[in-house]
Structure 1
Amino acid sequence: MKFVRYGPKGKEVPGVIDSTGTLYSLADVVKDIDGDALASDLPARVRSIGWNALPEVTTPPEGGWRWGSCIARPGKFVGIGLNYADHAKEAGLPVPTEPIIFLKASSSISGPTDPIIKPPHSTKLDWEVELGVVIGKTARHVSVDEALSYVAGYCVVNDVSERNFQMERGGTWDKGKGYDSFGPTGPWLVTPDEVPDPQALTLWLDVNGNRAQSGSTATMIFNVAQIISYVSEYMTLEPGDLITTGTPPGVGMGFKPPVFLDVGDVLTLGIEGLGSQRQEVVAWSR
């Protein structure tokens, strides 16, 4: 099943989509698609209630249709850097021997069709289509063999990055990764039963209608299970936490000469079975 959050920004309603594509409201079942809901085994609760007992959504909410981020603001938004060898090569950086961990601000999360805000003084705004993994139960020091049992679902993430802030302004990567709107997530949180192999998914991203990224999760350096196990050695992963797992080659800084986003540019991106996104770059304003 596919969990969603729909409605105006800040007023999203939790929902679920069945195998026929029908949307049902979960407003009477959970407050939101968040850590508390996932920790209570939400898929099992939906199955026990039964589809026929859930209200079907056919009328757009006040303000019109809009998909919000498929997970409410997580406690942690963890990024994995340079997790595709070809991407490390285009960045001019060595292939990691261990996963590179950085943190994106939870306030950076936005809906899959919300605009990307170009920050003041931004000169190198970039894109990264990535497989997102949402944690469903508390994970501490988990083994690789058991790691996938901690997954609540998978989603599309655009790890928007400002390369000047990230690489040329000193310190860690985080300041180039955490600006408002730098984490479009969704449209759906797809449960693991619909994703039998997270290492067999195609990813793609177009800039203004031109294909920039095309890859497969099969070429990750560290797979999803290895990432969860590794991260759980350094921090407790809690229900609702989001891990974004790295991007294939084709980001803007990898072009020769580099290509970066400006106001008016449009990104479309997606992952096999997990849906697609569309964002337009807009100027920052108060």
Structure 2
Amino acid sequence: MKHVRFIAEGREQLGTVKDSIVLSLSGKPYTEDEIDVWLPPIRPNKVIGLALNYADHAEELGLQKPPEPVLFIKPNTSLIGHRGAIVYPDGATYMHYENELAVVIGKAGRKIRAADAFQYVKGYTIANDVTVRDFVHNYYRPPIRAKGHDTFGPMGPYLVDRDDVPDVNRLTLRTYVNGELRQEGNTKDLIYTIPELIEFISSFMTLEPNDVILTGTPKGISHIYPGDVLRLEIDGLGALENTVIDGRTEK
């Protein structure tokens, strides 16, 4: 099942999607064009990002595969939904997208074994870990300024139940900029798998319901600019679309 959060008729609502019809929990149907604002499909307690989790992406940055998962926290204030606007900030000359499979936690756990990890997963969605490379000086310790701006965390459009994604280890990711395919990869190439990530993170941090783990991006990042339209696709999870707008005070 596909779960959504949205604003329609002046209020925030929860619903499900089937055949492009959004059915609110109150039972009222909406077409997707009748949605005023798409929200991230869940309200995370925390968003845990992962850098350099595809070998080809590390290679394109001229970096070695990390000896352990490289983690950072993405602030909740960075989150926006499907069709929301990504703001191009002051000081940026190289801003790029990062198409990532996002794992949503379903129940609390600490020191979770990899063998049990999927029991703690609620479902999956698409995330765009927008990054300004000008602010990155050490990719093994990604600074919050590079990834934490408001609007730098598009997520959605749906939360898809875990059991409706039969092979999460074989999902193709594609990123289009203004209709041009810029990035393509597959989750089979993750350096650290989802169970390994859940085991590692929960070894020192309690994972709670609706926490989100961003699993990294494959090779294919490139510049984006104000006016660009991004479309991120992951097999079975739909397409996350956002437009870049200019937020610079000096142009």
TM-score by length of 1: 0.81
Superposed CA deviations along residues 130-156 of structure 1, whole A, max 9, x for unmatched, are 000111100200000000110111000
Q: 1:136 to 1:23 in 2, by over 3 A?
A: same
Name the structure 1 match of 2:30.
58
Structure 2 contact 105–209 (Cα < 8 Å) conserved: yes
CA contact 2:21–2:32 (8 Å) conserved in 1: no
Change (3 A) 1:60 1:112: closer
2:3 alignment partner in structure 1: 3
Q: Using the TM superposition, give the Cα deviation of residue 56 of structure 1 relative to its aligned residue in structure 2, in angstroms.
A: 3.8
Root-mean-square deviation over aligned CA pairs: 2.2
CA gap 1:99/1:9 in 2 versus in 1, 3 angstroms: farther
> 1-side partners of 2:125 and 2:31: how far apart?
25
> Match for residue 222 of structure 1?
192
Q: Is the 8 A contact 1:188 1:274 kept in 2?
A: yes
Q: Secondary structure at the match of 2:156?
A: coil
Q: Give runs of aligned pairs for residues 31-110 of structure 1, distance below 5 A.
A: 55-58=27-30, 64-72=35-43, 74-110=44-80
Identity of aligned residues (%): 41
CA change 1:148–1:264 in 2 (3 A) is: same
Q: Is residue 276 of structure 1 aligned with residue 248 of structure 2?
A: no
For the residues of structure 2 that align with 1:21 and 1:279, how far apart are their CA atoms?
18
Q: Larger Cα Rg: Structure 1 or Structure 2?
A: 1
In structure 2, stretches of 5+ residues that fail to align are none
Q: How far did 1:173 drift? A: 2.3
Partner of 2:134: 164
Q: CA deviation at 1:182?
A: 0.6
- Give the alignment partner of residue 123 of structure 1, picking from 68, 93, 99: 93
**Matched residue SS, 1:175:** helix
Structure 2 CA distance for aligned equivalents of residues 8 and 122 of structure 1 = 34
CA contact (8 A) 1:202 1:215 kept: yes
**Greater per-residue strand proportion:** 2
Q: Is the 8 A contact 2:39 2:80 kept in 1?
A: yes
Q: CA deviation at 1:17?
A: 2.4
Partner of 1:261: 224
Q: 2:20 touches 2:32 (CA, 8 Å); kept in 1?
A: no
**Distance of aligned partners of 1:119 and 1:285 in 2 relative to their CA distance in 1, 3 Å threshold:** closer
TM-score (norm 2): 0.91
User: Which stretches of structure 1, 4 residues or longer, exceed 3 Å deviation after superposition?
Assistant: 8-11, 58-61, 63-66
Aligned partner of 1:25 in structure 2 is 24
CA contact (8 A) 1:71 1:189 kept: yes
Q: What is the CA-CA distance between 1:115 and the residue it aligns to?
A: 1.0
The change in CA–CA distance for 1:10 and 1:153 in structure 2 (over 3 A counts) is farther
Query: Alignment length, in residue pairs?
Result: 247
Letter in 1 for 2:25: L
